[in-house]
Amino acid sequence: MQIRRCSALLIEPRESVAFDLDSLLAGGNGLSANIELLALAPHLLSEVAISTVEADALSIIGATSWTPFDALAEKFDAALLHALLQKGLLISDDERHAENRERDEKLRAANWHPHSAVSHYFGRWKGVTSGESTDRAGYKSSAELAERLGASPPHVHARVPAEQRITLPETANTSMDELLAQRVTCRNFDTTRQLPLATFSRLLWRVFGAQAAVEMVKDHILIKRTSPSGGGLHPTEAYLLVQRVEGITPGLYHYHPIDHALEPLDAPDGDLHALANTFVAAQNYYADAHVQVVLVSRFERTFWKYRNHSKAYRVCLLDAGHLSQTLYISATEFGLGAFITAAMNEVDVEQALGLDPLLESPVAICGFGIRSSEFATIEFDPQQAIWSAEQSATVGIPAATTQNSNSQLSKESDS
| pLDDT single digits (tens) 129-152 | 987 766 666 666 777 878 888 888
Asked if residue 142 lies in contact with residue 295, where contact means CB atoms within 8 angstroms, the answer is no
Non-local (6+) Cβ contacts of 351 within 8 A are: none
The structural domains of the chain, ordered by start, are 2-109 (no CATH), 175-369 (3.40.109.10)
How many Å apart are CA 249 and CA 98, to the nearest integer? Answer: 41
Distances (CA, A) of 399 to 25, 142, 186, 391, 392: 54, 15, 19, 11, 8
DSSP letter string, 385-398: SSS-HHHHHHTTPP
The helix/strand/coil state of 160 is coil
- Would you state the pLDDT for residue 26? 77
pTM: 0.88
What are the tens digits of pLDDT across the range 278-318?
Answer: 999 999 999 999 999 999 999 999 999 999 999 999 999 99
**Residue 310: Cβ-neighbour burial (10 angstroms; 0-12, 13-18, 19+):** exposed
SS3 79: helix
pLDDT, average across residues 236-248: 98
Per-residue pLDDT tens digits for 5-48: 999 999 999 988 777 777 777 777 777 788 999 999 999 989 99
| 404 and 170 Cβ atoms separated by less than 8 Å | yes
Spatial separation of the C-alpha atoms in residues 324 and 297, rounded to whole Å = 13
**Cβ(57)–Cβ(4) below 8 Å:** no
Residues 6+ apart with CB under 8 A from 244: 191, 193, 194, 195, 250, 290, 369
Q: Which amino acid is at 389?
A: A
Q: Max CA-CA distance within the chain?
A: 78
